[in-house]
Amino acid sequence: MPKSIETVSIVTSDTAVRTGLTTVWWVAVSAGATGGPFQLNDSTDDSGTDMLNLTMAATTTLFLNFCMSPIEFKTGLYIDVQGTNVTVNVGWT
């Protein structure tokens, strides 16, 4: 893992995080009363490839550590949050 990781603030809706080569080291997610899906997409506008696609159960949290095998995004990092009940935080460089 690199010495310096940029961190996306809490994201609760679709967000273009970065354009260009991006490495994701970890993802922290929490879901409210109804849960819901989210994706990390290799694009700048949700038109590319889903690199991570999960559905969170209601009132759950999840921490995914990719430090041993980070996810590489070539076009950009776009977070697609469907609905309003999921918050996503991503550690990236």
Contact 77, 58 (CB under 8 A): no
pLDDT of amino acid 18: 93
Residue 51 forms part of a structural domain: yes
Residue 15 forms part of a structural domain: yes
Residue 87 forms part of a structural domain: yes
Query: In a 3-state reduction of DSSP, which class is residue 9?
Result: coil
pLDDT of amino acid 83: 80
pLDDT per residue rounded down to tens, the chain (93 residues) = 677 787 777 789 999 999 999 999 999 999 999 999 999 999 999 899 999 999 999 999 999 999 999 999 999 999 999 988 999 999 999
pLDDT of amino acid 9: 74
DSSP letter (8 states) at residue 70: P
The boundaries of the domain holding residue 65 are: 6-92
SS3 content of the chain, % helix, strand, coil (to 5): 0, 60, 40
Interatomic CA distance for residues 3 and 84, integer angstroms:
33
Task: For residue 29, give the CATH number of its domain.
Answer: 2.60.120
Residue 1 forms part of a structural domain: no
Q: How many domains does the chain have?
A: 1
DSSP letter (8 states) at residue 11: B
